[in-house]
Amino acid sequence: MIYDVVIVGAGPAGMSAAVKLSQRGLAVLVVDEQPTPGGQIWRGIERNTTGPVLRALGRDYERGRALAASFRSCGAEYAPNTQVWQIEEGWSLYLSSNGKSRRIIARAVLLANGAQERPVPFQGWTLPGVMTVGAAQILLKSGGMLPQGQVWIAGAGPLPLLYATQALNLGATITGYLDTSPPLRLKALSKLPGAWRDIAGLAKGFRWLRELEKDGRLIRRASGLMAQGDGKLQDIEWQSGGVRHKAKADVLLVHEGVVPRIHETLALGCAHAWNSDQNYLAPELDRWGETSRVGLFVAGDAGGIGGWAAATIAGEIAALGIAGRLGVAANIDSLRQEARLDNRRKRALALRPFLNALYSPPGTTIPDDVIVCRCEEVTAGKIRDATRGMAPDPNAVKAATRCGMGPCQGRQCGYSVQAILAEQHGIPACDVSFFNIRPPLKPVTIGELASIENAEEIA
């Protein structure tokens, strides 16, 4: 089967693009790793229809239900529980599901595979009991799971505040909240005029903060976080108000912002640009979301962090761009204007410059004894040793230390290696390249490779 469009990811951007492309009568396949649509933001949206978990997740979560329903009925073919492990120009995609692989052909590809939380290594971050705030929120959405015992949240950004509020509404106990963001600076306030366009969004953020501050559980300007324990998390340590603190902990949830998923676009050699507000790489896109490779589009957080509302609009814009590229719509510019897509996107992104300035990414040096590569257990010290007398090349670090060679393929250590090389050479991180990303993009077994039917025949 040759599809007109294959969409990777069934979150806000992927679903909205699928609906629009299907309305044009195009043959669309949506591939997603998850068992049900919604992406991470609306994970479990079809199942969480009533009850206390839904009420705690709030209105933004519930907004996903209508889009998921339109997606289900739009006529696009949907392949859940499916991973894409290779994309070749032309376009062919290698998919894997239930231990079997297959190859499919498409005239255009839309990557709507979202973001991941920015990995920020610190001492003890590999201990059982330490996980990301996003992970805890996914557990809440997918099984109503709440952390037990002495629960600490440490980090910066809107997500930890939102999660804390949701968990508290469900009766969870949060022992303390360590806010690692720098003090509110003039730089952030200068972005406010734009931000006021989204007053509802701001009010929500301040409400979350007040609730935590009320009973003294909010600790501001925390730094130097460490997790300690024998085989599992037992204590945490941090610095605040010039004093070192220590406390018992069973669960530590960390979050330092989110970054686009770029393994697919990197592997395809697309041009990328460095976002200096948030220190991440994102594919360079034209105004329709098309990458430097013709026929390959990106929408949503995978093209730069903007949140779910902006992602749904980016999905619509990319759908128009793809329709234009495939020659099934001639008047895409006027359609774009009629649907007021640019105004709507501007509105959805209004708060973003303020958030970027408020929650700038941490620039702290990773201590030598801290594990940077979770898969191969390579410390920052080992990486520093390897970089001495070496060009600032992450691939040379990989060859020398195995850092980035494990199953996560550098998704957890890539930016840390970049930062260490930049620090060692006294150059900005944006001047250091990223790991060379090669397929398979997700680990596949020899059995899965052997299961591909007609691999050559179609070509």
Partner 1 sequence: MFKSVLDVPANAPDMTVVVNGVDTPAWNGETVASLLLRVPDAGRLTPVSGASRLPYCQMGVCFDCLAVVDGVASTQGCLTPVVPGMHIDRQHGRREL
Binders of partner 1 among residues 55 to 114 (CB under 8 A) are 81, 83, 99
Q: At closest approach, how far in Å is the CB of 366 from partner 1? A: 17
Site residue total, partner 1 (CB under 8 A): 52
Binders of partner 1 among residues 357 to 386 (CB under 8 A) are 374-377
The verdict on 138 binding partner 1 (CB under 8 A) reads yes
The verdict on 31 binding partner 1 (CB under 8 A) reads no
The verdict on 47 binding partner 1 (CB under 8 A) reads yes
The verdict on 251 binding partner 1 (CB under 8 A) reads yes
Identify which of 61, 308, 105 has the alpha carbon closest to the alpha carbon of residue 299.
Answer: 308
Pick from 60, 62, 250, 393 the residue near partner 1 by CB under 8 A.
250
Neighbours of 56 (CB within 10 A): 20
- Angle at the Cα of 452 (from 36 to 104), degrees rounded to 5? 60
The verdict on 247 binding partner 1 (CB under 8 A) reads no
Pick from 79, 105, 139, 202 the residue near partner 1 by CB under 8 A.
139
The verdict on 143 binding partner 1 (CB under 8 A) reads yes
Q: At closest approach, how far in Å is the CB of 455 from partner 1? A: 19
Give the span between the Cα atoms of 1 and 233, in whole angstroms. 50
Q: At closest approach, how far in Å is the CB of 397 from partner 1? A: 17
Mapped onto helix, strand or coil, the DSSP state of residue 33 is coil
Residue 392, preceding peptide bond in cis (omega within 30° of 0): no
Pick from 25, 49, 100, 128 the residue near partner 1 by CB under 8 A.
128
Only one of the segments 202-210, 236-244, 290-298, 443-451 lies at the binding site for partner 1 (rule: CB under 8 A); that segment is 443-451
Binders of partner 1 among residues 154 to 213 (CB under 8 A) are 170-171
Hey, which residues does 106 pair with through a beta bridge?
3
Residue 251 or 323: the one with the smaller Cβ distance to partner 1 is: 251
Mapped onto helix, strand or coil, the DSSP state of residue 347 is helix
What are the structure tokens assigned to 30, written together? 């949506």
Q: At closest approach, how far in Å is the CB of 155 from partner 1? A: 14
Give the span between the Cα atoms of 319 and 305, in whole angstroms. 19
All residues at 6 or more sequence positions from 370 whose CB lies less than 8 Å from its CB, including other chains? 121, 122, 123, 125, 379, 380
DSSP 374-426: TTTTEEHHHHHHHHTTS-S-HHHHHHHH-TT-STTTTTTTHHHHHHHHHHHHT
The verdict on 25 binding partner 1 (CB under 8 A) reads no
What are the structure tokens assigned to 200, written together? 């509802």
Pick from 279, 387, 412, 416 the residue near partner 1 by CB under 8 A.
412
CA distances from 64 to 41, 54, 116, 309 (A): 8, 12, 19, 10
Report the phi/psi class of residue 269: left, alpha or beta, with left for phi > 0 and alpha for psi in -120 to 50.
left
The verdict on 400 binding partner 1 (CB under 8 A) reads no
All residues at 6 or more sequence positions from 4 whose CB lies less than 8 Å from its CB, including other chains? 21, 26, 27, 28, 106, 107, 108, 326
Only one of the segments 125-133, 200-208, 280-288, 289-297 lies at the binding site for partner 1 (rule: CB under 8 A); that segment is 125-133
The verdict on 407 binding partner 1 (CB under 8 A) reads yes
The verdict on 406 binding partner 1 (CB under 8 A) reads yes
The verdict on 146 binding partner 1 (CB under 8 A) reads yes
The footprint of partner 1 (CB under 8 A) covers 33-35, 40, 44, 47-48, 52-53, 81, 83, 99, 116-117, 126, 128-132, 134-135, 138-139, 142-149, 170-171, 231-232, 250-251, 261, 374-377, 406-408, 411-412, 442-443, 445-446
